[in-house]
């Protein structure tokens, strides 16, 4: 078989989707999960069940972890001992960049290399056209196994610093989670007048679609450290931020999220940035006083 064998450890929705993608592409796929029965369906489809973690490590040079966090990796691998030597651990579990860097050292001390990653699509899209995964870690190790990893989705390699993939991953989820909460907050606000979410929906969609058109100019301002522009300056946008907090308070919905946004404008105003573009909020966001 010209395809490289692969081991997948952690069979939540994400790990299961990965195993299916590898099996569909003809890879010899070994699986292990703390709760053994979660492997049953995959074994019926052709995956090989490892009885122990040591067996799972022995089966393939590439061992993909799809766990809740990095602590789970230590819980699983701590007892593996010599079985780790020579393995490439591709950890696609979510955590913070520092934990990722520490894990690289921990694995190196046991003779294994770490490729850290973050999957940027929900489980049902793994292996499909829209799927992409951030990776970071030693370039040569990544490139040696890129063809295997490509099965899961586009491989976006970010650099040697192991923390980079988690940094990009968390930055993407920062946008995602904040935007989802903003949408729900807006729906709650109009909902206080008896407006169902479906009536507001077309306006929300229009808003989300147009936001991306502001990002190229905003990125330029951020990179150049200059924030010219009087179409949407800090003073005007800050007044709007205050109105949102007031409207929310009057309507009796929570004010935590709009208050956090208003605080950015308040600090930019206090720093004398009232006449600059809203993008100058970046300067107070990156250096909270
Ligand atoms: P789940 O939480 O459903 O699965 C987690 C897996 O980790 C399970 O196999 C679980 O084993 C195992 N696990 C957790 N703690 C331990 C431990 N202490 N010891 C041994 N095994 C442990 O997560 P998902 O499959 O949804 O996600 C996996 C990773 O992928 C997460 O980091 C998530 O953030 C990320 N991700 C998920 C997406 C999604 O849409 N689901 C999207 C993008 C990224 P057991 O079965 O025994 O409980």
CATH of the domain at 22: 3.40.50.720
Say if residue 152 is in the same domain as residue 222.
no
Say if residue 154 is in the same domain as residue 96.
yes
CATH number for 228: 1.10.1040.10
Ligand 1: residue whose CA is nearest its atom 34? 94
Q: What is the pLDDT of residue 1?
A: 45
Structural domain includes residue 18 = yes
| Dist. CA 96 → ligand 1 center (Å) | 15
| Dist. CA 15 → ligand 1 center (Å) | 7
Q: What is the pLDDT of residue 2?
A: 54
Structural domain includes residue 51 = yes
Structural domain includes residue 238 = yes
| Dist. CA 9 → ligand 1 center (Å) | 10
Say if residue 103 is in the same domain as residue 238.
no
Say if residue 244 is in the same domain as residue 135.
no
Q: Which of the listed residues 8, 10, 134 should we mutate to test ligand 1's pocket, taking the one with most ligand atoms within 8 A of CB?
A: 10
Structural domain includes residue 256 = yes
- Listed in sequence order, the residues at least 6 apart from 5 whose beta carbon sits closer than 8 Å to its beta carbon are 27, 28, 29, 30, 59, 60, 61, 62
CA–CA gap between residue 36 and residue 244 (Å, rounded): 50
Task: Specify the 3-state DSSP secondary structure of 100.
Answer: helix
Structure tokens at 279: 């993008």
- Using a 6 Å cutoff on CB, does residue 39 contact ligand 1? no
- Using a 6 Å cutoff on CB, does residue 174 contact ligand 1? no
Domain encompassing residue 264? 192-286
Structural domain includes residue 149 = yes
- Using a 6 Å cutoff on CB, does residue 96 contact ligand 1? no
- Using a 6 Å cutoff on CB, does residue 153 contact ligand 1? no
Per-residue pLDDT of the chain (289 residues; tens, 9 = 90+): 457 999 999 999 999 999 999 999 999 999 999 999 999 999 999 999 999 999 999 999 999 999 999 999 999 999 888 899 999 999 999 999 999 999 999 999 999 999 999 999 999 999 999 999 999 999 999 999 999 999 999 999 999 999 999 999 999 999 999 999 999 999 999 999 999 999 999 999 999 999 999 999 999 999 999 999 878 999 999 999 999 999 999 999 999 999 999 999 999 999 999 999 999 999 999 987 7
Ligand 1: residue whose CA is nearest its atom 6? 67
Say if residue 23 is in the same domain as residue 97.
yes
Structural domain includes residue 90 = yes
Task: Specify the 3-state DSSP secondary structure of 205.
Answer: helix
Task: Specify the 3-state DSSP secondary structure of 185.
Answer: helix
| Dist. CA 259 → ligand 1 center (Å) | 33
Say if residue 33 is in the same domain as residue 154.
yes
Ligand 1: residue whose CA is nearest its atom 27? 14
Q: What is the pLDDT of residue 287?
A: 87
Beta strand 132-136 with 113-119 is antiparallel
Say if residue 18 is in the same domain as residue 122.
yes
Final residue of a domain: which of 161, 181, 200?
161
Structural domain includes residue 11 = yes
CA–CA gap between residue 208 and residue 218 (Å, rounded): 16
| Dist. CA 179 → ligand 1 center (Å) | 24
CA–CA gap between residue 280 and residue 156 (Å, rounded): 30
Q: What is the pLDDT of residue 30?
A: 98
Count of domains forming the chain: 2
């Amino acid at each position: 078989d010209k395809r490289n064998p692969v081991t997948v450890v952690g069979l939540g929705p994400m790990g299961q989707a990965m195993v299916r993608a590898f099996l569909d592409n003809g890879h010899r796929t070994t699986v292990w999960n703390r709760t053994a029965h979660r492997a049953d369906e995959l074994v019926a489809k052709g995956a090989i069940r490892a009885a122990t973690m040591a067996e799972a490590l022995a089966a393939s040079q590439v061992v993909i972890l799809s766990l809740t966090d990095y602590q789970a990796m230590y819980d699983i691998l701590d007892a593996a001992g010599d079985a780790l030597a020579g393995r490439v651990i591709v950890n696609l579990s979510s955590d913070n960049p520092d934990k990722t860097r520490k894990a690289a050292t921990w694995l190196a001390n046991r003779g294994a290399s770490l490729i850290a990653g973050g999957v940027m699509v929900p489980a049902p899209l793994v292996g499909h056209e829209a799927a992409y995964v951030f990776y970071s870690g030693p370039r040569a190790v990544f490139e040696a196994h890129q063809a295997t990893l490509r099965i899961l989705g586009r491989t976006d390699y970010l650099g040697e610093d192991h923390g980079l993939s988690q940094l990009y991953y968390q930055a993407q989820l920062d946008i995602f989670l904040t935007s989802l909460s903003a949408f729900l907050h807006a729906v709650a606000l109009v909902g206080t007048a008896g407006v169902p979410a479906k009536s507001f929906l077309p306006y929300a969609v229009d808003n989300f679609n147009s936001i991306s058109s502001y990002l190229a100019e905003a990125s330029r301002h951020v990179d150049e450290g200059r924030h010219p522009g009087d179409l949407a300056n800090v003073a005007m946008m800050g007044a709007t931020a205050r109105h949102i907090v007031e409207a929310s308070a009057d309507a009796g919905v929570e004010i935590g999220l709009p208050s956090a946004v208003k605080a950015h404008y308040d600090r930019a105003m206090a720093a004398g940035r009232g006449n600059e573009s809203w993008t100058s909020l970046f300067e107070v966001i990156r250096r909270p006083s």
